[in-house]
A and B are shown apart, each in its own frame.
Chain A
Amino acid sequence: MKENSRLKAVRAVRQELAQVGIDPFGVQIDRIVSPTEGIIDGRPTILAGTNNYLGMTFDADCVASAREALETAGTGTTGSRMANGSYASHRELELDLARFYGKRDAIVFSTGYQANLGMISALAGPGDTVMIDADSHASIYDGCTLAGANTIRFRHNDADDLAKRMRRLGDEAANALIIVEGVYSMLGDRAPLRDFVRVKNEFGATLMVDEAHSMGVLGEKGRGLAEVDGVLDDIDYVVGTFSKSLGNTGGFCVGDSDDMDVLRYASRPYVFTASLAPATIAATRTALRKLEAASDLRKRLQANAERLHAGLSALGFRLGAPANAVVAVLVGEKLEALRFWDHLLKAGVYVNLMVPPATPGNESLLRCSVSAAHTFEQIDAICAAFGSWNGARA
């Protein structure tokens, strides 16, 4: 069969990895034991490369809700909500989310990725302008591509650079959609949300914030960085996911817009995909209720993050941001990072290897995500595994 030339670059990366004999992107967890443990290559392994921030995947109440829904409502919906009908629980989850954020309404999507695709492509189209942070997640870039809008990047976390670019738009600035993330997934750094809100208000634009990595993690009620910074009312749309602190699969958007009811109908990633299974919806509803009351888990998570951050700092590693649920070790060169990652896995610790262009600053990262379910012993074991690496401290 003829080789597809578009796959040439990916094929080259695969070959490069094959020569080294390490494949960080094909890890198989043979058996999942708990939110923080699995069996990989026959070895008991501490999972520090999930996004299971509150350890909700094995929560007994969430599992019970899923089991009940599975038995009473079946395995799947077999179609899209628009073509094949919503179950009452889909709408109930939307109302739960709206109430949780104190917003008028919510839309549930089948993944967090689709939430960004769906919202951006419904809110903007050819001739419109979307302003995005340069370090935005791929789902935001892809949403802009699907929208066909003029997409302008501003410097990461730089509200002045955004304002400068908004001024260049002239009268069009009021129609622009600005998109930022609360916490950035690679380094775990936070957006200066108040500054972005100020720019948004100055120009009368629309602001969407992706809180995928901050929902459930930050804020007294777990409503993310917007809650911490007290700007939830100034944000037009909050996008998030069920696949991190809620321990499930799915995505959502909440907002106060008069158009919330019609946005879903304008969103192809909402219209043309299967809706979430009843068990997923049921477990997510239970997880959301528990997340709101889980300030003890958030304290535990922060204590774990601080312990890991302090431990890795003491070992001389360069870290991406202050202590947060994402603790990224900056490693520099890709091959070094690959060998380091493999060393950690063989030492019984699974973290994420992140390489350019997915990472900022052209630097490879070993990204740890901390869970409230990690014990201090596990955190110390993660530090010990990092400490046993004989290569250069980046």
Chain B
Amino acid sequence: MNHQDVVAKLIELVTPFAEGRALVINETTGITSELGLDSLKVMDLVVAVEDEFDISVPINALAEVRTVGDFASLIQKSAG
């Protein structure tokens, strides 16, 4: 899966968690800063992502994730 495909899928997954807090979600959208996901929601999102992509995302790697694009890159890395 290329980066843009991962981003598109990730936007699909993150949208319900955002509960309408952003009109547009794209690669540069901040997951906590703009979408307002708290730590619990982030962990629920991680589980949804892991199920969708059949990967395990190390929680220590999440510290570097700010935007949807960052998360997409981590997903690609975790998928090997």
Contact = CB atoms under 8 A, between A and B. Distances in A.
A151 B58 contact: yes
A149 B40 contact: no
A339 interface: no
A356 B41 CA distance: 11
A150 B40 contact: no
Contacts of A169: 56
Interface in B29-72: 38-40, 43, 46-47, 54-61
A373 interface: no
A152 B40 contact: no
A8 to B, nearest CB: 13
A151 B55 contact: no
A357 interface: yes
A134 B58 contact: no
Contact of A148 (B38, B46, B56, B60): B60
Contact of B56 (A145, A149, A165, A357): A165
Contacts of B55: 168
Contacts of A165: 56
Nearest to A356: B40
Contacts of B57: 152
B40 A144 contact: no
Nearest to A360: B40
B43 A134 contact: yes
Contacts of B54: 168
Contacts of B46: 153
B39 A153 contact: no
8 contacts: A129-B58, A134-B43, A144-B60, A150-B58, A151-B60, A153-B43, A169-B56, A362-B40
A164 to B, nearest CB: 9
A150 B60 CA distance: 6
A149 to B, nearest CB: 7
Interface of B: 38-40, 43, 46-47, 54-61
A interface secondary structure, majority: mixed
Interface in A353-380: 356-357, 362
Contacts of A152: 56-59
Contacts of A148: 60
Q: How large is the interface on A (under 10, 10 to 19, 20 to 34, 35 or more residues)?
A: 10 to 19
A150 B61 contact: yes
A299 B43 CA distance: 39
A134 B43 CA distance: 9
A152 B57 CA distance: 7
B60 A153 contact: no
A144 B58 CA distance: 11
Central interface residue in B38, B39, B56, B61, by most chain A CB within 10 Å: B56
Nearest to A132: B59
B59 A151 contact: yes
A357 B40 contact: yes
B56 A168 contact: yes
A168 to B, nearest CB: 5
A66 to B, nearest CB: 41
Contact of A149 (B38, B43, B47, B60): B60
Nearest to A362: B40
Nearest to B79: A168
Contacts of B59: 144, 151-153
Contacts of B47: 155
A357 B58 contact: no
A77 B58 CA distance: 40
A168 B56 CA distance: 8
A257 B48 CA distance: 37
